[in-house]
Structure 1
Amino acid sequence: MTPTFDWDAYYAAMAGREPRKNLLAALEHWGERQPGEAVDLGAGDGLESRELASRGWRVTAIDGDSGLRARLDGVEGVTPERRDFAHISELPASDLVFAGFSLPFCPPSHFDALWGAIRTCLRPGGLLAVEFFGVRDKWAGTPGMTFHTHNDVERMLWGLETLLLDEDEREGRSFDGPKHWHVFHVIARCPESDAPR
């Protein structure tokens, strides 16, 4: 069972933040190509979905939080969907899949199905911008969350062109206090041919 977090308190604490750096870096890799279809997994407060839509992307924003639809109500180009990660086995065909610090909240028993859906939905030339929590993260071992080693991450990226694999381990803060972070920031591209299907 996924642990209970006070997401409303988190969104309040994060009010006024900038879009995630990993998303902005992925958009730099996208370059001048025409915006396409994007999936924002764990869309949360909706900031990244709004950022993508403002740049011309058509976004499917997915989150298990019942407040997602209200937060994205009326945002042109964004389709909010309330879906729990534990029940995702298929995603719409996408040119960009973004998951900012959300994938670790998928229970281990469902992670492979979710990752398979992510890999399968990515179109040739499409980009993946995600974060994984490492096994030395303070929250490692929390029931209902998934953590990875460096080798795990490399294995999951097999067949993709890895544009960024940054292992970040440091003392810092979460919204509720001090935290030891162990995070993998990843950007990868699906090859133009021989895309996983």
Structure 2
Amino acid sequence: MSWSEYFEKIKNRPVRKLLLNALREVSEDMPKTAIELGSGPGIDTLHLLNEGWSVTAVEKESQGIQMLKAQLSPEQNSKLDIVESEFENLINLPKASLVYSALSLPFCKADAFPQFWKVIDSSFGEKCVFATNFFGPEDDWVKNGMCTGHTKEQIREMLKSFPTIKFAEDKEMGKTATGPDKFWHVYHVIAIR
């Protein structure tokens, strides 16, 4: 299944709990500047815009970008910067108070991930909330080389500049958005500083 078909399947899903939980960790003195890495058709980006955030949305697939643009009001459009790029080709990102990526980071190729991580790390504001999913080494897509996986220890090392790290770990068989079951090994991470 293509990314376009995936976007069509998920376009009516609700805002992800990961984002809603991350927003609860944002303090009132933090600027409302956000980055979404892998924005897809823009469901979570639109939620941020509706909540008064300025957003940089990074997405490699033009159909996802077009689906997002089709939903924007002029005011939302003025608070949105879209970066059409694969993660592997990103050179820099602006500083942000919220850096968010749901189920997208693992799709960066393993050999490019260290450089991609430097770009992400450079975007963290002095006060920042980082919310993401990492795939663990037992995930089927990691085992077959389709995605990049990390251990909990590797994740903690990457996030050593964050005093507070909230982890939840799932290991279970479950559906994918495109149909077939797979074994999921996912870390749901919210890091706060």
For residue 12 of structure 2, the aligned residue among 11, 16, 19 is: 16
What do residues 89-126 of structure 1 show as CA deviations (whole Å, max 9, x unaligned)? 31111111101000000001111111111111111111
Partner of 2:121: 119
Identify the structure with the greater helix proportion. 2
Q: Does 1:50 align with 2:46?
A: yes
Structure 2, unaligned stretches of length 5 or more?
A: none
CA shift in 2, pair 1:132/1:156, >3 Å: same
Match of 1:13, SS state, is helix
The amino acid across from 2:7 in the alignment is: Y
Of residues 181, 186, 191, the one that matches 1:183 is 186
Contact 2:30 2:127 in 1 (8 A): no
Partner of 2:3: 7
Matching residue within 149, 156, 159 for 2:158: 156
Tell whether 2:21 aligns with 1:25.
yes
Cα distance, 1:6 vs structure 2 = 1.2
> Quick check: 167-176 or 28-37, which moved more?
28-37
**Equivalent position amino acid for 1:78 in 2:** L
Residue pair 2:41, 2:65 contacting (<8 A) in 1 also: no
For 2:52 and 2:30, locate their aligned partners in 1 and report how far apart those are by CA, in whole Å.
8
Question: 2: distance between equivalents of 1:69 and 1:7?
Answer: 12
Root mean square deviation, CA, Å: 1.6
**Alpha-carbon distance in structure 1 between the residues aligned to 2:27 and 2:12:** 26
Cα distance in 1, alignment partners of residues 110 and 6 from structure 2: 23
C-alpha distance 45-69 of structure 1, shift in aligned 2 (>3 A): closer
Identity %: 32
Show the 5 A alignment for 1:105-116. Answer: 105-116=107-118
Task: Write out the 4+ residue segments of structure 1 that deviate beyond 6 Å after TM superposition.
Answer: none
Segment of structure 1 superposing worse, 71-80 or 108-117: 71-80
Matching of residue 66 in structure 1 with residue 62 in structure 2? yes
Q: CA–CA distance in 1 between the matches of 2:123 and 2:28?
A: 22
1:146-172 CA distance string (max 9 Å, x none): 111121111111121234111111121
Change in 2 beyond 3 A, CA 1:143/1:84: same
Task: Kindly indicate whether the alpha-carbon contact (under 8 Å) linking 1:168 and 1:183 is maintained by their aligned counterparts in 2.
Answer: yes
Superposed counterparts of 1:36-47, under 5 Å: 36-47=32-43
Distance 2:182 2:29 in 1: 39
Letter in 2 for 1:50: L
Q: Distance in 1 between matches of 2:146 and 2:89?
A: 14
Unaligned runs of 5+ in 1: 191-197
